[in-house]
């Protein structure tokens, strides 16, 4: 009878521990980030021989693109959701380990949280020289007539932090320009194709569509631009949209990446920034198939499958008078191998079971 009571007690203790362990599901992102930071210290993929590198950071469901320009200036385009701040913090800490913590150009493509969410973190921890933002105001900035207002606390904090730093930081509104950056005498160019208007009804229409050009190669960053914007870009710019590397718009959603747009861009490589198992079921299978038809299966890179994706351009190694393109990913370099939440649960559950049912029993037998 005592043995039966002891077994019941062990089962109750095991169930209580199991519920406690499984409750970590509600903050599994934090658990995974902490574990990966603990065991894998170097999430940055290096392409040291390249003149220009573009880092598509695995930020979860969102966008974060870090560009190391040929003149050693740093541009960050979007910064992911605040829910995944730890991922950004780990990556930037490693990237800036031997560099001054200066961001020369910080661009927020549009006012969606998965693109601006860590903006205040950037301002609080880095010296930002030039800040490019959408023409979407906070409730405190209603000085211009007819402006779209975003009353999200995170967006307000981002704008407040940028204004605090206005002495050392110049602020610009995103708009179509052939010479987007406030910089002269450079051997690369950053164009802004869109936004073409000051005000839109749809937040995604504000997306800054940027094209970086260096040594005959072009990289097109599209934010969350949708098909109506793509159509306008085709009509206005046509073959100027042609680029070697395409950041697929809106995380591979059906709202973007029309066949006509992909045909005009004609990319050699494509990148989709998306979270594994996200609630939106992105990227859309039809869009993935459509992009693959243009670039080939081996040239489409997804952050949910490959982690951080880095492209590099090397002007010393040329192909038909164009810089050579190199690409590395977290997966191919075996850096920052993902420790999944479920792996930890299985391990902890097994250890808990062993301790409760066997260790205690053996002590009693002695």
- Beta strand segments in 124-216, E: 127-133, 136-137, 148-149, 170-173, 189-194, 209-214
Q: What is the DSSP letter of 54?
A: E
* pLDDT digit string, tens, across residues 108-128: 999 999 999 999 999 999 999
- What gap in Å lies between CA 297 and CA 285, rounded to an integer? 13
Q: With 80 as the cut, is the pLDDT of residue 30 above it?
A: no
Burial 56-88 (b: 16+ CB within 10 A, else e): bbbbbbbbbbbbbbbeebbbbbbbbbbbbbbbb
Q: With 60 as the cut, is the pLDDT of residue 363 above it?
A: no
What's the average model confidence in pLDDT over 293-315? Answer: 94
Spell out the domain ranges in the chain.
1-40+340-366, 46-338
Average pLDDT, the chain: 86
Query: What is the CATH topology of the domain spanning 46-338?
Result: Metallo-beta-lactamase; Chain A (3.60.15)
* Banded pLDDT at 334 (limits 50, 70, 90): very low
* pTM for the structure as a whole: 0.80
The region that residue 83 occupies, defined by phi over 0 for left and psi between -120 and 50 for alpha, beta otherwise, is alpha
Looking at the chain, the whole-number percentage of residues with pLDDT higher than 90 is 59
- What gap in Å lies between CA 256 and CA 285, rounded to an integer? 13
What's the average model confidence in pLDDT over 317-327? Answer: 91
From residue 77, how far is each of 53, 108, 159, 266, 354 by CA, in Å?
13, 6, 16, 22, 49
Assess whether the previous peptide bond of 195 is cis (omega < 30° from 0). yes
Spatial contact of 194 and 185, defined as CB atoms under 8 Å apart: no
Which among 334, 269, 331 has a CA at the least distance from the CA of 305?
Answer: 331
- What gap in Å lies between CA 248 and CA 224, rounded to an integer? 9
**Phi first, then psi: what are they for 218, rounded to 5°?**
-130, 140
- Give pairs for 13-18: CB < 8 Å, separation 24+: 13/356, 14/352, 14/353, 14/356, 14/357, 17/352, 17/356, 18/349, 18/352
* pLDDT digit string, tens, across residues 130-155: 999 999 999 888 666 777 889 899 99
* pLDDT digit string, tens, across residues 34-45: 665 555 544 666
Spatial contact of 120 and 67, defined as CB atoms under 8 Å apart: no
The residues near 260 (Cβ < 8 Å, ≥ 6 apart) are: 230, 231, 234
Q: Which residue has the tokens 């979407």?
A: 136
* pLDDT digit string, tens, across residues 173-215: 999 998 888 665 678 999 999 998 888 889 999 999 999 999 9
* pLDDT digit string, tens, across residues 289-298: 999 999 999 9
From residue 294, how far is each of 240, 270, 328 by CA, in Å?
18, 9, 20
pLDDT score recorded for residue 36:
58
Looking at the chain, the whole-number percentage of residues with pLDDT higher than 70 is 83
Which among 257, 211, 209, 261 has a CA at the least distance from the CA of 238?
Answer: 261
pLDDT score recorded for residue 343:
67
Q: How many CB atoms lie within 10 A of CB 362?
A: 8
Residue 189's DSSP bridge partners are 213
């Amino acid at each position: 009878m005592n043995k039966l009571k002891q077994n019941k007690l062990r089962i109750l203790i095991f169930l209580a521990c199991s519920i406690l362990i499984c409750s970590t599901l509600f903050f599994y992102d934090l658990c995974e980030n902490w574990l990966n930071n603990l065991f894998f210290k170097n999430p940055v993929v290096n392409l040291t021989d390249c003149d220009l590198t573009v880092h598509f950071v695995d930020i979860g469901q969102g966008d974060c693109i870090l560009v190391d320009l040929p003149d050693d200036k740093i541009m960050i385009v979007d910064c992911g959701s605040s829910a995944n701040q730890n991922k950004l913090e780990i990556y930037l800490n490693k990237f800036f380990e031997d560099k001054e913590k200066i961001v020369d150009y910080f661009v927020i493509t549009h006012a969606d949280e998965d693109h601006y969410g860590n903006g205040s973190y950037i301002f609080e921890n880095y010296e930002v020289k030039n800040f490019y933002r959408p023409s979407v105001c906070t409730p405190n900035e209603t000085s211009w007539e007819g402006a779209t207002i975003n009353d999200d606390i995170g967006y307000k904090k981002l704008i407040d932090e940028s204004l605090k730093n206005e002495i050392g930081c110049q602020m610009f509104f995103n708009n179509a320009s052939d010479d987007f950056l406030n910089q002269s005498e450079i051997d690369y160019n950053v164009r802004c194709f869109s936004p073409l208007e000051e005000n839109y009804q749809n937040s995604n229409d504000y997306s800054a569509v940027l094209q970086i050009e260096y040594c005959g190669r072009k990289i097109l960053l599209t934010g969350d631009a949708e098909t109506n914007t793509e159509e306008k870009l085709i009509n206005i710019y046509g073959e100027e949209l042609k680029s070697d590397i395409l950041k697929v718009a809106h995380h591979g959603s059906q709202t973007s990446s029309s066949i006509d747009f992909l045909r005009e861009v004609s990319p050699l490589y494509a990148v989709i920034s998306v979270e594994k198992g996200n609630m939106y079921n992105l990227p859309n299978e039809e869009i993935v198939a459509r992009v693959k038809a243009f670039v080939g299966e081996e040239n489409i890179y997804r952050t949910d499958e490959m982690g951080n994706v880095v492209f590099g351009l090397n002007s010393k190694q040329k192909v038909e008078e164009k810089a050579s393109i190199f690409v590395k990913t977290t997966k191919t370099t075996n850096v920052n191998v993902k420790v999944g939440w479920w792996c930890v649960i299985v391990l902890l559950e097994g250890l808990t079971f062993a301790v409760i049912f066997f260790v205690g029993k053996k002590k009693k037998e002695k």
